[in-house]
Structure 1
């Protein structure tokens, strides 16, 4: 499906599609790469980048803005899969074409497509993104922090080998064997999380298909008696940046409160340090005070902030 928004002379044409062809994928990824180099941060999340390459996905739309010469100057993605929350969007404009109204055009197209019920991410919280949100009449309502801490050699790391409760053992994830059980625990642990808790087998497969995926850095804590997964710590390595990430830590609801999350975090951080990585990062909602406190006690400090804006209705 394609919806071409009418454009007056001198204004961008915005095309809305439910899937991108190979050429469009290449053009959008090149645009994202140029923007990331200029901004020092990705304008579209990992989930969004996977959706660009993954063909049609229910509830996901791609908005491409072209100038008068047919050159791609901006991209936005709209995801309308949450049964309660307003559709969520991310957008980016070519760094060399900013200040010409392309961002406003994409924003207006997103408002129209969403029925003026919209949430928009501004990764890195740049001033230009804050200004665009104001112009579009959006209000700030969520703050996601990226925290970082130094690692160094595992032998001198100030995070010691953790101990686990009696009857609990730790092993690494086995693709194909642990998929369903992990998805169930992840959904339960993040039942109220707008993105993480909704992961499907397709989402897991997409991540396992990426070059960075390494099951040796995906730790599961399970009950020895029956193999029930109680919690997990999935780590990620960004090779180009030489950056380790606490990708996601989750604990089953009936296993929370016993220190399992802290122990699994320590296991993952020691694993990342053993890879020779100098720095670790993670993402946490600013209003999750308990989690922020735990991570700050582990030596993490705020490195960058992502902001989400929404319409009032």
Structure 2
């Protein structure tokens, strides 16, 4: 049973808006309704309100996400997902500008410290919402995309490209251990991608779209018993994406080992992954990159990518979100 907050609903109705705190994996019937709300929001806004990890949090109890539902007359009109000090928020379009987002953020702003709120697409309504708080933009994630297929870039003769499936056949579990090592070297600074272990890597492979043939490893030649992985490129291809609109592939994760940097290996890795996606039938390829990673942005621009969307994180003390949301 979740915690219920009954808050005044003064706009166009006398019915109180109810905010309920709960763990949605324990209430699957409500999780299904939330997923429908998120689908409606994405269709209206043209961008998903929840990221992949927060979508998983609706049904995966291991992520330990908390959820806040805004309900009016028994109908869910808004949802906020909370993972530690990170939150993502969605309000059904018909109930915006009525204080729903404010009430959800206030309910989630308990305790000390800061709360960081994602604004996917960084759309004007979201910017207008955060402008009412003393919140700072603390992170920006860019979406870049291309429809241009350039000639493939080949690695030097000192290296070979193998799929994860091929590497597992040759080296067994060592292939996965090497991939985890390189991932953690490449993303030691990253709040979501860094610090992985075998359990976290196993969870990542549970995605319905995971395919070991879509994970490419760049391996130094000569390895017999253990591969020396210099980098990897994991691409995302959803068969469902080819129906109804342009077929979209994604440069999901690209990482270089510490000893693989400044050797020009990144271009060959990226190019190899792009070839996989084009060969799958992709008409558009997109990727996500931190806005302050100027070198990566420049490299992607040389490959024909251009910025098409941005996502922002706004951070403020919980006391600020709570006081100004009342």
Bigger mean CA offset, 136-145 vs 228-237 = 136-145
Alignment of 1:252-271 (within 5 A): 252-271=257-276
What's 1:227 paired with? 227
State whether structure 2 residue 311 is matched by structure 1 residue 306.
Answer: yes
Aligned match for 2:55, one of 28, 45, 49: 49
2:287 to 282, 296, 300: 282
1:31 to 31, 37, 50: 37
Structure 1 residue corresponding to 2:208, chosen from 203, 206, 211: 211
Shift in Å, 1:130: 0.8
In structure 2, list runs of 5 or more residues that go unmatched: 10-14, 319-326
Distance 1:171 1:34 in 2: 40
Query: How many pairs are equivalent?
Result: 298
Shift of 1:251: 0.7
Q: Is the 8 A contact 1:173 1:218 kept in 2?
A: yes
1:135 corresponding residue in structure 2: 132
Determine the C-alpha separation between the residues in 1 that align with 2:154 and 2:108: 47
Equivalent position of 2:237 in the other structure: 237
The whole-number CA distance in structure 2 between the counterparts of 1:129 and 1:116 is 22
Contact 2:155 2:265 in 1 (8 A): no
Change in 2 beyond 3 A, CA 1:75/1:280: same
Q: Is residue 2:277 matched to residue 1:272?
A: yes
Equivalence for 2:156: 164
* Cα RMSD for the two superposed structures: 2.1
TM-score with structure 1 setting the length: 0.88
Taking structure 2 as the reference length, the TM-score comes to 0.85
Residue 202 of structure 1 and its aligned partner are, at CA, apart by 4.6
Cα offset, 1:199, TM superposition: 4.1
In structure 2, relative to structure 1, the CA distance for the partners of 1:129 and 1:6 (3 Å cut) is same
> Residues 28 and 201 of structure 1: is their aligned pair in 2 closer, same or farther, counting only changes over 3 Å?
farther
CA distance in 2, matches of 1:206, 1:147: 26
Runs (5+) with no aligned partner, structure 1: 81-86, 152-156
> What is the distance in 2 between the residues matched to 1:132 and 1:116?
21
Matched residues in 1 for 2:156 and 2:19: separation?
54
The Cα shift of 1:17 comes to 1.9
Which of 172-181 and 224-233 deviates more?
172-181
Structure 2 distance, partners of 1:49, 1:30, is: 12
Once the two structures are superposed, residues 197-247 of structure 1 have per-residue CA deviations (whole angstroms, 9 ceiling, x without a partner) of 144545433442323222221101123323022210000124425101100
From 178, 188, 192, the counterpart of 1:181:
178
Q: Is the 8 A contact 2:41 2:49 kept in 1?
A: yes
- Residues 1:123 and 2:114 are matched in the alignment: no
> Which residue of structure 2 aligns with residue 84 of structure 1?
none
